[in-house]
Structure 1
Amino acid sequence: MLLSLLLIFVAGPRYGQSNVLVYVLVCSAIGSLSVSCVKGLGIALKELFSGKPVLKEPLGWVLLVCLVICISIQINYLNKALDIFNTSVVTPIYYVLFTTAVMMCSAILFKEWQHMVLDNIIGSISGFLTIVSGIFLLHAFRDMPFTPNLLPLFLQPGRPDRHQSCQHQPLLPSEDKGSQSAEEEEEEEEEEEK
């Protein structure tokens, strides 16, 4: 929350119009808080359906109010970023920063990483890095034209026999093939004369 307030009141007026990261960081930080509020409300609803008197507790109502405030701020700053900067720039940066902020917020508030075994931690980090690298590659090469000519020869469409290019041809013709080719040449010459 402190980072969000600094970005809103200090960095936003100074650098918000020129740097895409300012408004997107505000959206990501506030968005991670909204995800945590939704998790808390989900737990409250689960307890409500199990028969516990959750509606009398103030925490559920505080989480609901915080969720409405966080979503309003998040949408406001996301719209500001989209008004100033190109969507193809804002979207991948927002997705990566939002995912990072949610993982950090969940680790701090819910202490999820303390209860995870090593396999799950490695899987979560690997999945996150795969998403980040995939988004980077999609947007880094979005303007590069990909034609079939860029493919290896055996994968190019329209080739009669794709496996033929991988086979080696003999350097010297055998005697049978040589005699056949001479006979074929004679037949071709006779056809041309006719």
Structure 2
Amino acid sequence: MGISSDNLHGLVLAVSSSVFIGCSFIIKKKGLKKAGDTGTRAGSGGYAYLYQPLWWAGMIAMIVGEMANFAAYAYAPAILVTPLGALSIIFSAVLAHFILEEKLHIFGVLGCVLCMVGSVSIVLHAPQEKSIHSVKEVWHLATEPGFLVYSCIVLVLVAVLIVRFVPLYGQTHLVVYIGICSLMGSLTVMSVKAVGIALKLTFSGMNQFIYFQTWFFTVVVIACCLLQINYLNMALDTFNTAVVSPVYYVMFTSLTIFASMIMFKDWDSQDASQIATELCGFVTILSGTFLLHRTKDMGNSTPVQPPVHGSPSHNNSNSNS
């Protein structure tokens, strides 16, 4: 089965996006580390990283990657574009291993491979993109009861996480920061797709910026992105990059595809075997992420030698534990 011209454009843009975003994690992490040496860390609520050129370089790389990802959604369905974000896991984990010395254990490598296998499975069985001729069509889909209920649930969960869980568990539980980013990210992608379609139609001669719906989706994109950036910085400054990237990927991808399924009804045109294969892809991705998360400290730990009774090193190890 051949790939359409639009899907090919979306594929190339999505892969390019993953390269830039994967590199941006590393550059931003180095900037955050330098900022933490001279001021209040981002994980503690500080904003010293805003004065670090490295952080801004990473931010520029992320913006370029997000722009490529933005364009990809205008050409291809979310279920095809979003899983390709797994490539950013590979780039960030490998670069973190060599540049940040955040050692990636062999089981972490296997976890990344499983994420890739699951992503390929989803991409190969992704449904065809629906033809949309106006941003008003997207607005109609976004204001149907199903997606309105989903949006309300997301906003309530994000509010609870920010007000209740961030102060108590933000520094110890990665899922708090990443949960906020992923939940808002699912709404961001739906709005990005709407704006991308509006731009694509406008460039083809059908101006979509005369409709208030286009501007509404644009405001949602900006607001959601700013919130995601803030909490992603906190996650990167607090936890290991090799763990942040895949956990963010899995949660973001799962929620985004779920939101796309509700809004665009992607699975309506698929049979049971295709849906089952996509679900197996999700399970494979989740398995890889779980494996990576459970073994995240194995590569950083040094082998513990059997203690010699009464030795000074034994006493020192006890005093430092």
Do the two structures share a fold, i.e. TM-score over 0.5?
Answer: yes
The answer to whether 1:94 aligns with 2:248 is yes
Structure 1 pair 67–16 and aligned structure 2 pair: CA distance change class (3 A): same
Instruction: Indicate how the Cα distance of structure 1 residues 33 and 51 shifts in structure 2: closer, same or farther if over 3 A, else same.
Output: same
RCO greater where, 1 or 2, for CA within 8 Å and sep 6 or more? 2
* Offset at residue 140 of structure 1 (A): 4.6
- Is residue 129 from structure 1 mapped to residue 283 from structure 2 by the alignment? yes
Structure 1 match to 2:202: 48
Give the aligned partner of residue 222 of structure 2.
68
- Tell me what 1:2 maps to: 156
- 2: distance between equivalents of 1:112 and 1:31? 18
Which one-letter code corresponds to 1:20 in the other structure?
L
Distance in structure 2 (CA, Å) of the matches to 1:96 and 1:142:
16
In structure 2, the residue matched to 1:174 is none
Where does 1:1-20 land on structure 2 (aligned, <5 Å)?
1-20=155-174
Which residue type is aligned with residue 15 of structure 1?
Y
Give 2:217's aligned amino acid.
Answer: L
In structure 2, what residue type is equivalent to 1:86? Answer: N
User: Is 1:28 aligned with 2:198?
Assistant: no
State the Cα distance separating 1:129 from its structure 2 match.
1.9
Amino acid at match of 2:287: S
Look up the match of 2:265.
111
Change (3 A) 1:11 1:121: same
| Alpha-carbon distance change, 15 to 142 in structure 1, aligned in 2, over 3 angstroms | closer
Report the CA distance between 1:24 and its aligned residue. 0.8
Paired residue for 1:157? none
Is 51-60 or 124-133 further displaced after alignment? 124-133
Give the Å deviation of 1:56: 0.6
What is the TM-score normalised by the length of structure 2? 0.41
Distance 2:212 2:183 in 1: 24
Q: Distance in 2 between matches of 1:17 and 1:144?
A: 21
Higher Rg of the two aligned structures: 1
Partner AA of 1:100 in structure 2? S
Structure 1, 5-14 or 128-137: larger mean CA deviation? 128-137
Larger CA deviation: 38-47 vs 71-80:
38-47
Per-residue Cα deviation, 1:122-181 (whole angstroms, up to 9, x for no partner)? 222122222222333455557779xxxxxxxxxxxxxxxxxxxxxxxxxxxxxxxxxxxx
How many angstroms apart in 1 are the aligned matches of 2:264 and 2:157?
Answer: 19
Runs of 4+ residues deviating >6 angstroms = 142-145
- Whole-Å separation in 2 of the counterparts to 1:141 and 1:21: 17
- Within 1, Cα distance between the matches of 2:173 and 2:289? 20
- For residue 58 of structure 1, the aligned residue among 201, 206, 212 is 212
Q: Give me the TM-score of the superposition, normalised by structure 1.
A: 0.65
Name the CA distance, whole Å, in 2 between partners of 1:118 and 1:20.
35
Contact 2:186/2:252 (<8 A) preserved: yes
Structure 1 residues not aligned, in runs of 5+: 146-194
Bigger Cα displacement from structure 2, 41-50 vs 133-142: 133-142
Whole-angstrom CA distance in 2 between matches of 1:78 and 1:144:
24
What's the secondary structure of 1:18's corresponding residue? coil
Q: Matches of 1:141 and 1:9 in 2, distance apart?
A: 31
* Residue 151 of structure 1: aligned partner: none
- What 5-or-longer segments of structure 2 have no aligned partner? 1-154, 300-321
